[in-house]
Structure 1
């Protein structure tokens, strides 16, 4: 891949983001790249000496987009750029950083290496979903992590009827239901008791949130499954139900609304530094066995 035009996207709500954006932009220009900066990032950070561009313009012009922020910033950028097939690099200016995996302190060196061809490519599936009220489509959206149906306020559980490829699976009463990609399996789905799916596993996972019946367990389905979830009853929930696409919310769903979820035809491409390991990320973020046998950890330089 040749990266002639590179776009910068940042979590502009973070203080102190202007300096690393300027520094990274200068590194890119020194290598001969044309640098774009996402328009709201430029406006809110004051980094205006690179060419401002909308996400649509970035999709049309850029060969690469570098996202500086946390995983939420990456999720938002991935949904915007997925239809353009622009590869993404994540620089962690947040906290956890499962998909923004390059530390800010080593960003310049890592980006220079990637521009010179020292990278690992990683493709991730997306979900697409819509909320139907009768024959009317209320909203639709893409999700890199998950589509979530849950109760919107205080009160009782909601009742959901779940179908897969036109076949009835089950009805459940719960606080909600998570439909997650392998990328999203380490997000809310993991907190709710779901399994971790390796990104190369071609599957989706359904995870009930606090189900009334404890036999309602997470289930893994083929990635080409078409899911239809109907809100059968809202019980004593005062504020209705909500649907989230990567935590972007449609509230005030009604009884009888149907949520259709399937794999999107688009994929997101991540580029990582040479030597990237998904298992290293899990060890780092989930603290797997760090205190048991540190000599087994290739990332531990203390030995």
Structure 2
């Protein structure tokens, strides 16, 4: 399906946001005006509607919004987008982010671009990326006792303990190593610019179909990040020597608690997030801007003009 054909189906627009500042409220109100001008039906998530009592429009919870909408517009920062993506990923509805946060790797449309950006999207002039998620399951005595998904990363960490944790890692039923460390970050390409990056992991282009496993302060200096295919089945067995059971964090927002002897299974989530960028979006330009990479060519041109 072409982007033009896909855009023709953008008739019911769901709006998700977290009211953290006056700027978010202003962007939501402006967004509603623009959707009215484009003759689109729209519905706002219930929690945002409750926080903005000036609104007079239909509201639904996120699950219902995911089922109803042809397009989801997220107003906020990357954290807001992560939470929204996890909640509606099963419906595979395209998602567009209006940046009211700091970095904006996912919500990369600035408020000043909203008017022209929406017009371009409704004309089908946009780029569409499929971003895969991770599914984490905790297995206890052969039964699944907890599960959740993550777009950025699944992180095994000590929780309230300050001691290192011990665990065994298996990939596709093959033993990899026993490790003693502060934990392990399992990241998608989307999450490679987040926590995994700060722990020394590599940047992975969003088009890559791979996972990176980044040890957190391992006791052995020989432990290094490992990159595996996205279809890999990971199993982390929690040792009985840990003082306190470790925890699992998903996108640093949702948390699961492990018990001694549990297994943490991590695999690719069945559905993907369909992320919309404006035409001309450049991943490396985003990295230069957000991560402070040097603009060497621009500097050389500036020096030659002097």
After TM superposition, the score normalised by the length of structure 1 is: 0.93
| 1:177 paired to 2:184 | yes
Corresponding position of 1:193: 200
Q: Deviations over 1:211-263 (max 9, x none)?
A: 11111100000110000001114544xx5311011123435422211100000
Aligned-partner Cα distance in 2 for 1:153–1:143:
22
Q: 211, 230, 247: which is aligned to 2:252?
A: 247
Gaps of 5+ in 2: 1-5
Corresponding position of 2:215: 208
Q: In 2 relative to 1, CA 205–275 (structure 1 residues): closer, same or farther, beyond 3 Å?
A: same
Which aligned pairs between 1:1-303 and structure 2 lie closer than 5 A?
A: 1=6, 2=8, 3-233=10-240, 235-236=242-243, 239-290=244-295, 292-294=296-298
Q: In 2 relative to 1, CA 170–285 (structure 1 residues): closer, same or farther, beyond 3 Å?
A: same
What's the offset of the Cα at 1:192? 0.4
More helix by share: 2
Aligned-partner Cα distance in 1 for 2:273–2:284:
20
- Bigger Cα displacement from structure 2, 208-217 vs 146-155: 146-155
Q: In 2 relative to 1, CA 68–296 (structure 1 residues): closer, same or farther, beyond 3 Å?
A: farther
Root-mean-square deviation (Å): 1.8
1:153 counterpart SS class: coil
On the 8 A contact 1:146/1:246 being kept in 2, the answer is yes
Q: Deviations over 1:125-166 (max 9, x none)?
A: 111111122123221001111111000124320011000111
Aligned-partner Cα distance in 1 for 2:245–2:236:
15
Q: In 2 relative to 1, CA 261–252 (structure 1 residues): closer, same or farther, beyond 3 Å?
A: closer
What's the offset of the Cα at 1:34? 0.4
Aligned-partner Cα distance in 2 for 1:227–1:175:
18
What's the offset of the Cα at 1:46? 2.3
Q: Deviations over 1:251-293 (max 9, x none)?
A: 5422211100000110000111111111111111111113x43
On the 8 A contact 1:234/1:241 being kept in 2, the answer is no
On the 8 A contact 1:17/1:45 being kept in 2, the answer is no
On the 8 A contact 1:90/1:100 being kept in 2, the answer is yes
What's the offset of the Cα at 1:25? 0.8
Q: Deviations over 1:64-113 (max 9, x none)?
A: 01101111100111111111111000111011111111112222221121
Aligned-partner Cα distance in 1 for 2:212–2:167:
16
Aligned-partner Cα distance in 2 for 1:234–1:67:
44
Query: Aligned residues, how many?
Result: 296
Q: In 2 relative to 1, CA 47–195 (structure 1 residues): closer, same or farther, beyond 3 Å?
A: farther
Q: In 2 relative to 1, CA 172–36 (structure 1 residues): closer, same or farther, beyond 3 Å?
A: same
Gaps of 5+ in 1: none
What's the offset of the Cα at 1:47? 4.6
Moved over 4 A (4+): none
Aligned-partner Cα distance in 2 for 1:193–1:42:
40
